[in-house]
């Protein structure tokens, strides 16, 4: 089992113009970021320190800070086969949108996931008050959606979905994953990434039993789950007061893996800090 690097979190880059970061993906020199209250996908050129915006939604005058009751709640940024999949959390009826961005053609397509999220609730018995998709990974045959169990039923776990068309998925199962408990608050998923058939995830403890309302942050964690048997390998606290919501693989140096993390500060500030952490 890999051990946590002794180094603390390191600042990788600070980016102005991006707020409430909830998902991150690195491709060579380009860093892609989404925010849960934004209508844009952000593309940051690390070498040139230049920020570009890709419009995911239309019709919002306050596209950088969409009001909470209207926002699409884009919590998931997943890379698969040269596309970025940006998913709403499904925690409210207006949060069922998926936007896809083709990294080659630069085109955006939009898909309604209402059917999928309704099937998830029907197949697993998890109601609307406890459905809160925060991460996703994809393989050639299956999708895995990570439900943050911060609702009153504490349904933290992974939805396994057969097939590669999320909008039409029908074969759905739920794999409950019990993480830690801190100060009587359960630690629950906030994002995940797949690397060499291992799931590396981040999770947070937040003092709330609502998938809608925020609470006091009691810590963030990094861990690993085996994709084949869903056994939890380790969970390690990486911060006592920050809520990390996005993770991307950075590089491997010998036996050390490095990941990038983005933080949701739960504020309207249009500045985000990207951190680096090693295992």
Any domain includes 127: yes
CA angle 20, 43, 279 (to 5 degrees): 70
Strands 97-102 and 108-112: antiparallel
Question: Under DSSP, is residue 120 helix (H, G, I), strand (E, B) or coil?
Answer: helix
Q: What is the pLDDT of residues 129-144, one digit of tens each?
A: 999 999 999 999 999 9
Q: Write the DSSP assignment of 60-108 as a string of letters.
A: -SSTTS--TTT---EEEEEEETTEEEEEE--SSTT--EEEEEETTT--E
pLDDT, residue 184, reads: 77
Question: Going by C-beta distance under 8 Å and a sequence separation of 6 or more, which residues neighbour residue 229?
Answer: none
Say which CATH number the domain at 36 has.
Answer: 2.120.10.100
**Strands of 40-45's sheet, edge to edge?**
21-27, 30-35, 40-45, 50-55
Distance between CA 69 and CA 24 in Å, rounded?
Answer: 24
Question: Under DSSP, is residue 168 helix (H, G, I), strand (E, B) or coil?
Answer: helix
Any domain includes 239: no
Any domain includes 128: yes
Any domain includes 241: no
Number of domains in the chain: 1
pLDDT, residue 186, reads: 86
Minimum mean pLDDT range among 16-20, 138-142, 170-174, 264-268:
264-268
Domain with 25, as residue range(s), is: 10-176+247-278
Any domain includes 50: yes
Residue 183 pLDDT class (50, 70, 90 cuts) = confident
Residue 272: strand pairing partners: 15
Minimum mean pLDDT range among 6-20, 171-185, 224-238:
6-20
Any domain includes 232: no
Alpha carbon distances (Å) from 32 to 6, 235, 240, 261: 28, 26, 26, 12
**Model confidence at 210: pLDDT above 60:** no
Any domain includes 5: no
DSSP H/E element including 117 = helix 114-124
Any domain includes 42: yes
pLDDT, residue 232, reads: 96
> 58 is written with which tokens?
């239309």
């Amino acid at each position: 089992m890999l051990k946590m690097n002794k180094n603390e979190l390191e600042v990788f880059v600070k980016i102005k113009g991006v707020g409430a970061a909830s998902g991150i993906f690195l491709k060579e020199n380009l860093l892609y970021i989404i925010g849960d209250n934004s209508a844009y996908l952000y593309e940051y050129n690390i070498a040139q320190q230049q920020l570009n915006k890709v419009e995911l939604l239309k019709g919002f005058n306050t596209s950088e800070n969409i009001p909470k009751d209207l926002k699409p709640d884009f919590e998931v940024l997943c890379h698969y086969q040269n596309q970025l999949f940006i998913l709403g959390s499904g925690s409210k009826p207006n949060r069922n949108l998926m936007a896809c961005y083709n990294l080659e053609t630069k085109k955006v397509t939009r898909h309604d996931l209402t059917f999928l999220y309704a099937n998830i609730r029907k197949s697993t018995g998890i109601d609307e008050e406890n459905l809160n998709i925060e991460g996703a990974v994809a393989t050639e045959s299956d999708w895995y959606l990570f439900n943050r169990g911060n609702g009153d039923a504490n349904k933290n776990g992974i939805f396994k979905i057969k097939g590669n068309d999320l909008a039409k998925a029908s074969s759905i199962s739920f794999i409950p994953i019990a993480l830690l408990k801190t100060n009587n608050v359960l630690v629950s998923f906030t994002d995940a990434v797949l690397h060499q058939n291992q799931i590396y995830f981040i999770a947070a403890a937040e003092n709330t039993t609502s998938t809608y309302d925020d609470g006091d942050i009691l810590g963030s964690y990094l861990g690993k789950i085996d994709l084949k048997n869903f056994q939890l390998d380790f969970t390690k606290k990486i911060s006592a007061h920050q809520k990390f919501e996005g993770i991307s693989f950075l590089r491997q140096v010998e036996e050390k893996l490095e990941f990038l993390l983005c933080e949701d500060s739960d504020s309207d500030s249009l500045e985000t800090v990207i951190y680096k952490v090693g295992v």
